[in-house]
Chains A and B, each alone.
Chain A
Amino acid sequence: MDTQNPTDKDGRTAPAARAGLTRRTFVRAGLAAMLAPPWLHSMNAGARAAAMRGIGPDGEIVLGVSAAFSGPSRGLGTELYRGAKSYFNHVNQNGGVNGRKIALKLYDDGYQPDPCVENTVKLMLEDQVFLLFGYVGTPTVTRVLPMLKKFQAQRVYLFFPFTGAQPQREPPYGDFAFNLRASYRQETAGLVNNFVRIGRRRIAMFYQADAYGRSGWAGVRAALARHGYEMAGEATYRRGTRFTGSMRAQVEILKKASPEAVICVGAYAACAAFARDAVDLGLRVPIANLSFVGSENLLNLLSEGQDDPGAYTRYLVNSQVVPSYEDTSIPAVKEYRELMARYDPQVPKELVKEAYTPFPNSFVSLEGFLDAKLMVEILRRLKGRPDRSGLQEAVFSVRDYDLGIGEAVSFGPERRQGLQKVYYTVVEDGRFVTLDDWEAKFG
């Protein structure tokens, strides 16, 4: 038993313990093995195999990642990875977690559900990773959740996906995932409440025609209903639409509804195309985006090559689930900026299919950094040899933990989301700054 005999980091019995074995012990053990029923042998072998899962050849803890490293949303997967990897690199360089380094097994899903499911099967069954980490997107994650339920006996949990959708926060799949970020429901409720407060009650929606868009749609609808309002209008776009695509049809649909604000639930390429066409066609109302949009990529697309860089960005208001990466008075932000500058991690070349120039700092990479920081803390809390069976207990032991952003993180059986706070930002002087006065900006 691991708890009785001292073991090394790979679970082998220590020499001192082996030295204590006598001939009588060997004889007893041999007799016990001969008399034991055959299924007991297979159970022990199964238990040993399960214990080996997720540990690499050099004893490192292997985390499985499926994210968008290609396609129009590749910026999201890339930035999230860069933020997380900067912290993991820092931890590995300083001895790892309880003497073990952390390794990431990466796959690209291009933000498409089917490849994501295939990657997850590989990660779980072939690569036998310790846990799943840093997935990107609602349509991808919602398709993976039933897999986690199907293989629940293996206790492979999904940690900190980059999505604020409800399915991984509620039954029947909530037990298989742990979230750090605030939910889309919280983001959309905050946006609606602020718009209504400043008198903008006719709120329309532009959203991705999939589970992500529907999740945001449901949040806006519920928030409006609490104020006694209905959605003024809605238009959709197909996932994977690029910035070069036209959103004029969507703008025309929404213009008929005469909205006083539009909430977008989409990825940066399509949302930037919508903001551009909205301004061009005279729909000049506040255009809100959720944290998933990838604010820096959105800003980049809308201001690049413009004579007036603010032409398309002065109506933007983006909700965020992490504080501003410009605010170096926040300890975690200071640490994040230092480690990003020191390591500047890049996506492995074999996963790069299209050119992408990463940002030195971004909201998404800060979120990835915080995800990694909490992940390391949870792995540190695992007692003895890393074992999936102890993961949930380790997560639930996180109570009022200070990540360094001024908001304590807690988990529990009824609390599977660490952070609750939503921040709001607007574009000023070509960068996102915190929005403090809604009335002055959009009133």
Chain B
Amino acid sequence: MKIRKLFQKTQFGIFGLFGLIVLSTSALTIYTVQTHLSTEYEGNSRNIAKTIADASVDILLNRNLATLQSLIDQFVEIQGIRYVYITSDTGEFLAHTFVPGIPEVILESDPNETRAVNRQLPGMGEFVEVGSPILAGFAGTVHVGMDLDVIGLKIQRAIGQQVYLISILLVVGVLGSIWFVNLAARPLGELLAFAVKLAKEEDADGAETEHILARDDEAGELARLLLHISQRRTPADEPPPAADGTG
């Protein structure tokens, strides 16, 4: 037990290092995943809006709004897309997927907006909305709303998985370091016990003594050195024979 004190600082150092790795990796993961997924979702929304816009031209020009509605209904089935609506060049809502009605926020927004806009819709949640012009805007605009809650959930799940993995590595690393420290400390313990026996001038014979003396590492060398020193010291330390004073 005393020997472990020798490694306490090392162990704390290892814990600290692992903690730093966990924190920095998690922070980097959160940033990367969030940035990556947000960009990807926005890009996907934009692609979907463009796909609908491209597919809508003929349908819109033929004024076939049932087919147009059928088209946008299929896109709402894609995970993350919560609403799609199409406005005409005059800003009229030609088709949409809102239930029970078009939210006031959307009704009051710019129908020709194509940049990414964050929207808070009462009773529905938070969304990022992108737009794509139909026939360069002359036939109208397609708007696609992605659910930020779904994106957030996906980010949380991705981060959770990363943190879970790193946490497992941390626990395994810490347990491993303890095991290695104990492994390294065992010969030192045996050496200490051997040295104590020599100091007490106890009988140094036995299996444990033979084991430590047989080791070919530093502990074994130290044991043999201690034995040698103890054997050399014994004659010198003996008191000199008494002088024949009567003589």
| Distance between Cα atoms of A212 and B69 in the complex (Å) | 9
Whether A253 is near chain B, meaning CB under 8 Å from some CB there, is: yes
Is the C-beta of A234 less than 8 angstroms from some C-beta in chain B? Answer: yes
Per the bound structure, the CA–CA distance linking A218 and B68 in Å amounts to 11
Q: Is the CB of A170 within 8 A of B97?
A: no
Residues from chain A with Cβ under 8 Å of B68 in the complex:
214
- Indicate whether A409 reaches chain B with its CB closer than 8 angstroms: no
Q: For this complex, into which size category does the number of interface residues on chain A fall?
A: 20 to 34
Q: Among residues 129 to 185 in chain A, which have CB atoms less than 8 Å away from a CB atom of chain B?
A: 138-139, 142-143, 165-167, 170-171
Q: A368 near B: Cβ within 8 Å?
A: no
- The segment from A235-243, A311-319, A349-357 that touches chain B is A235-243
- Residues of A in contact with B (beta carbons under 8 Å apart): 113, 138-139, 142-143, 165-167, 170-171, 209-215, 217-218, 234-238, 247, 249-250, 253
Shortest Cβ distance from B230 into chain A, in angstroms?
90
In the complex, chain A residues whose CB is within 8 Å of the CB of B67: 142, 167, 211
Docked Cα-Cα span, A113 to B70, in Å, equals 10
Q: Once the chains bind, are A237 and B64 in contact (CB under 8 Å)?
A: no
Known contacts A142-B66, A214-B95, A253-B101, then 7 further A-B pairs from the complex at CB < 8 Å, ordered by chain A residue: A171-B62, A209-B96, A209-B98, A210-B73, A212-B66, A234-B102, A237-B100
Are A209 and B99 also in contact (CB < 8 A) when A139-B73, A143-B70 are? yes
Q: Nearest CB to that of A143 among chain B residues?
A: B70
Interface pair B100/A249, CB less than 8 Å apart = yes
Query: A210 to chain B: which residues have CB within 8 Å?
Result: 69-70, 73
B 44-99 contacts with A by CB, 8 A = 62-70, 73, 95-99
Question: Do A234 and B101 have beta carbons less than 8 Å apart?
Answer: yes
Given known A-B contacts A170-B62, A214-B95, A250 and B69 have beta carbons under 8 A apart: no
B100 touches A211 (CB 8 A): no
B69 touches A213 (CB 8 A): yes
Instruction: Name B95's closest neighbour in chain A (CB-CB).
Output: A214
The CA of A137 and the CA of B64, in the complex, are separated in Å by: 17
Give, as a whole number of angstroms, the nearest-CB distance from B111 to chain A. 16
Task: Tell whether, in the assembled complex, residue A250 and residue B66 are in contact, meaning their CB atoms are under 8 Å apart.
Answer: no
Complex Cα distance, B95 from A326, in Å, reads 39
Residues in B with CB closer than 8 Å to A139 are 70, 73
Cα–Cα, bound, A234→B70 (Å): 19
Separation in Å of the B242 CB from the closest CB of chain A? 115
Nearest CB of B to A432, in Å: 27
Measured in the bound complex, the distance between the Cα atoms of B100 and A236 in whole Å is 5
- The answer to whether B101 touches A166, judged by C-beta atoms less than 8 angstroms apart, is no
- A218 & B100 in contact (Cβ 8 Å cutoff): no
Is the beta-carbon distance between A237 and B99 smaller than 8 angstroms? yes
Sample 30 A-B pairs with CB under 8 A, ordered by A number.
Answer: A138-B66, A142-B67, A166-B64, A167-B66, A167-B67, A170-B64, A209-B73, A209-B98, A209-B99, A210-B73, A211-B66, A211-B67, A211-B69, A211-B73, A213-B69, A214-B65, A214-B66, A214-B69, A215-B66, A234-B102, A235-B101, A236-B98, A236-B100, A236-B101, A237-B100, A249-B100, A249-B101, A250-B101, A253-B100, A253-B101
